[in-house]
Homo-oligomer: A and B are copies of this chain.
Amino acid sequence: MKVLSFGEMMLRLKTPGNERILQTQSYEATYGGAEANVAVSLALLGDEVSYLSKFPNNPLGQAAKSTLQKYGVDTSKILTGGDRLGIYFFEKGTSVRSTNVVYDRAYSAFSQVAQTEFDWPTIFKDVDYFYFSGITPAISPDLEQAALAACEYCKQQGIPVVCDLNYRAKMWSPEQAQKVISKIMEYVTICIAHDEDFEATLGIQAFDGDSSRGIEQKESFKAAMKQVQADYPNCKMVASILRNIYSVEASQWTALLLTDETFYETATYDMHVMEGVAAGDAFGAGLLHGLLHDYSSEKLVKFALAASVLKLTITGDLNLVSEAEINQVMESNSGARLAR
């Protein structure tokens, strides 16, 4: 069972600690991106996974590729060429100061790829699951077309399509997103959506925008998840994380899964967040891992959420944890004792 993950990987430049860009004299350099994060998670969980993207033929492209290889992702399908690797600058906030991201991803090799560069039959050989997020079609018209073509090919071949809607307001407007995502959703088998994703990409109201009381809006989320399946009958499963965010550090996390007309819920975690990025990707990877290993629906969403909250304890975009560690969090709902 092999997964193909399709998207952009960037150089992430994070200031040390909580420094601001204005004061820093150094950056911590890692590599990440929604679909690359999912690929690395799966590889660390022992699954076979291939990543599809385009990297420039320079040391930064080589470093991004090496990062994927380090953790066991198949990089043989990655295209090479183009001008530059996308970059994002990352200022970790704390307390009342929000985390701030400065994107410098325009003109990246991946954003300049032509849809004709993808030979789908070759790419999908031996692939059992296809994953991408809403970021990929948001990058360029060619990538929108490429994502649709890939979905169409999956439909023909019976390959399930897993999509995290992943709305990014800095990349497109709700109008633009809805126009594209509504087409993509025709092909999506498993849909992941959080927070404002429902409304921004599907026009379905789930969340009123008050981050401090997402969990209180569970019924509204459930209604939205049902509406997704009503609107897109091909969609067998909808999953969503709900959060109450009190500050950069303090938040509560729970998750919902809708499948076979049944809602599966998890416990709620009280989190002290070390780094609040890529938890959604970790959730998606947890879900995919469960699907690959035929977890029950109940275990599926519990495992995915445990993977997700563990990501909040790891620095960098990649969820560097093992299946055993996810299971431990899932089972104990805690983890504070020192094993020695």
Which residues of chain B are near A96, meaning CB under 8 Å?
A: 269, 271, 309-310, 313, 329, 333-336
- Kindly report how many copies of this chain are found in the complex they form together: 6
- A120 in contact (CB, < 8 A): no
Which residues of chain B are near A273, meaning CB under 8 Å?
A: 95
- A320 in contact (CB, < 8 A): yes
Task: Verify B29–A27 contact, CB threshold 8 A.
Answer: yes
A90 to chain B, nearest CB (A): 9
CA–CA, A63 and B70, complex, Å: 9
Interchain residue pairs A-B with the least CB separation, the first 6: A70-B70, A21-B59, A97-B313, A95-B272, A98-B335, A96-B335
A window 92-132: CB within 8 A of B: 93-104, 106-107
Other than the given A25-B29, A59-B100, A248-B335, 17 more pairs (CB < 8 A) read A18-B274, A20-B59, A21-B63, A22-B59, A25-B30, A59-B89, A59-B91, A69-B71, A70-B70, A93-B336, A97-B310, A97-B314, A97-B325, A98-B335, A168-B340, A251-B336, A276-B338
User: How many chain-A residues does the 8 Å CB contact rule pick out?
Assistant: 86
Task: Give A residues with C-beta under 8 Å from B.
Answer: 13, 17-30, 58-60, 62-63, 66-67, 69-72, 83-84, 87, 89, 91, 93-104, 106-107, 168-170, 211-212, 245-251, 269-274, 276-277, 309-310, 312-316, 318, 320-321, 325, 328-329, 333-340
CA–CA, A273 and B247, complex, Å: 11
Contact of A270 among B30, B247, B313, B316 (CB under 8 A): B247
CA–CA, A212 and B18, complex, Å: 27
